[in-house]
Amino acid sequence: MAAGGSAKPGSGAPGRSSSRRAGALAAVLLALAGCSPGGTPPASSPPAPSPASSSATATATGSGSGPFSDAELAAIINGVGKSRNLPYPAGEDSTRLRSGAASGSFPQAQTVTTPGDCIALVPQDPFTRWADRDIFFAEGGMPPAGGESGPTTTIWILLRSADQAAIAAADFGYADDVLQRCNQFDLAYTEAGRTSTSAVQLLGAPSIGDKQHAFTQVTKPKGPGDFGTVGLRVLHGTLSITLTLAVAALNSEADAKPALDSMAELAKELINEAGKPQAPAAPSAPNSLTPDQMVALFKGMTGPAGEPVRLPQATVLEPPRGSTPTITSQPPATQCVFDDQAYFASLAGSVYGQGQIQGATKMDNADFTVISMPSAAIPPYPFDSRSERLRGCATVQEISVEGGGRTWSTVSTLATTISADASYAVAYQLSDGTGAWQVRCGARRGTFSIEASSTVSSQPDTQAKADSLSAIFTAVLARAGQ
């Protein structure tokens, strides 16, 4: 029942490997960022959308008696983060996490407790939770009030919501005597064939909400340097709160008290934020593909040589706050500039995913991104401008999403035979002294585009790599109905 996740988009759960494994074992709450299925993402990717603008799986009112939607739950987390002056959104994107279920790549996971009826105190594993369409959820993390995030200073947050009877049964469906009989129990968590065991002990929980319990969790047997975890679970009306915090030295209830006090304060703030009027989430622009459908396009897909082509998750790119999602032309830019920052900013409202084509070796892997623009998008399309700016360039200045830059030197144009409305294929030599070359290709047909990058050992190999990527692009575009 410990946690992992990311407090900021793209960041991994901190800590040593032993604490990561303890986190995966217990999270049964929140998956470690590194546990998410799928390949390595591209080096530069657009900012994760604010969960507050993500579309919910179904309609929820967020009223005093009704359930909160995914977006409203994320807004609660972000609202508390804002009141604590956090410089980043504290909530994760539930749409992205849910879309992973469509890939069919979630690992098999099972949680078993001894005694068996103590399972009622244990949340679902994250993969089951993400695939559950009957209960809304949001995840995130933030430091205790006045602190900074770190391995033992990030409180991991899971909020769930459904009709009051449903959420009570799902997350707190145990009789009072279970708390007595399960004062101490063992928990075994199996994921992808690996099993880890921990010892759980219940603590006296602060009186918050309608129902609550607190616990400590340590690996069993406990190894040198293993972190322990302190957790607090609270039910308040239609809102279920689970909070966990890693503790470096957890040998007694006294060691757990500072963490429990910090989480009790955060639980009260979350409940208070939930009681405030929730601003409506920005509507999603009509699109021919949902994030789930985009992920499903790649299910079971392979390249010309049988290499797996995997898209683990997808989401909707965030529009500026308070605006309607629209596709805009990129602002005028200098030729021979490859500007990811401006490009992704111009694609607000698009469904976006990033994945990997797995080669025979790590060097043969190719990272790719896919974009499905809203159905109402009209020319000139951002992809076309992006492609045109590469034509005839001997050097290219790349601007990453984060604003950093690097120069592509010795750029050469490659042939591409893909049938597309717009496309590009270039190669350039890496500046790392290895002599390796980077191949970058992209194609757009209709409102759907795909781009990929891969490394080859020498310039003579660049055209063959471009041809291989083009073959995969053709198959993807066909699956997308373009």
Give the confidence band of 329 by pLDDT, cuts at 50, 70, 90.
low
- Proportion of the chain above pLDDT 70, given as a percent: 83
Q: Into which CATH architecture does domain 291-479 fall?
A: 3-Layer(aba) Sandwich (3.40)
Least confident of 88-102, 181-195, 255-269: 88-102
Mean pLDDT rounded to a whole number for the chain: 83
Average pLDDT, stretch 42-56? 42
For the record, the structure tokens of 294 come out as: 């985009």
Give the confidence band of 32 by pLDDT, cuts at 50, 70, 90.
very low
Write down the pLDDT at residue 363.
Answer: 86
Q: Which residue has the higher pLDDT, 367 or 330?
A: 367
Q: Into which CATH architecture does domain 17-274 fall?
A: 3-Layer(aba) Sandwich (3.40)
Average pLDDT, stretch 305-323? 80
Which residue in this structure is represented by tokens 């604003």? 403
Contact 121, 170 (CB under 8 A): no
Which residues of the chain does CATH 3.40.1000.70 include? 17-274
Helices then strands, counting H and E runs in the chain, come out as 11, 18
Residue 45 has pLDDT above 80, yes or no: no
Q: What is the pLDDT of residues 409-464, one digit of tens each?
A: 999 999 988 899 999 999 999 988 889 999 999 999 999 999 999 999 999 999 99
Which residue in this structure is represented by tokens 């939930």? 274
Which residue in this structure is represented by tokens 């074992």? 25
CA-closest candidate to residue 91, choices 80, 103, 101: 80
3-state helix, strand, coil in the chain (%, to 5): 30, 25, 45
Residue 376 has pLDDT above 80, yes or no: yes
Least confident of 140-154, 169-183, 209-223, 324-338: 324-338
The residues, ordered by sequence, that sit 6+ positions from 301 with a Cβ below 8 Å of its Cβ are 308, 309, 310, 475, 476, 479
Give the confidence band of 13 by pLDDT, cuts at 50, 70, 90.
very low
Residue 201 has pLDDT above 80, yes or no: yes
Write down the pLDDT at residue 282.
Answer: 67
Residue 26 has pLDDT above 60, yes or no: no
Average pLDDT, stretch 2-14? 32
CA-closest candidate to residue 267, choices 327, 210, 349: 210
Least confident of 8-12, 365-369, 385-389: 8-12
Residue 469 has pLDDT above 80, yes or no: yes
The residues, ordered by sequence, that sit 6+ positions from 90 with a Cβ below 8 Å of its Cβ are 7, 77, 78, 80, 81, 140, 141, 142, 157
Q: What is the pLDDT of residues 225-240, one digit of tens each?
A: 789 999 999 999 999 9
Write down the pLDDT at residue 200.
Answer: 96
Half-sphere exposure of 192 (CA within 13 A, CB side): 10
**Gyration radius of the chain's alpha carbons:** 24
What single-letter amino acid sits at 267? A
**Buried/exposed code over 141-162 (b: 16+ C-beta within 10 A; e: otherwise):** bbbbeeeebeebbbbbbbbbbb
By DSSP bridging, strand 396-399 and strand 405-413 are antiparallel
For the record, the structure tokens of 138 come out as: 């949001």
Give the confidence band of 11 by pLDDT, cuts at 50, 70, 90.
very low
**Buried/exposed code over 434-461 (b: 16+ C-beta within 10 A; e: otherwise):** eeebbbbbbbbbbbbbbbbbbbbeeeeb
Q: What is the pLDDT of residues 273-297, one digit of tens each?
A: 999 987 776 677 889 899 999 999 9
Give the confidence band of 59 by pLDDT, cuts at 50, 70, 90.
very low
Residue 382 has pLDDT above 60, yes or no: yes
Give the confidence band of 77 by pLDDT, cuts at 50, 70, 90.
very high
Give the confidence band of 52 by pLDDT, cuts at 50, 70, 90.
very low
Cα dihedral sign for 344, 345, 347, 349? positive
**Cα 462 to the chain's mean position, in Å?**
32
By DSSP bridging, strand 337-339 and strand 396-399 are parallel
Residue 188 has pLDDT above 60, yes or no: yes
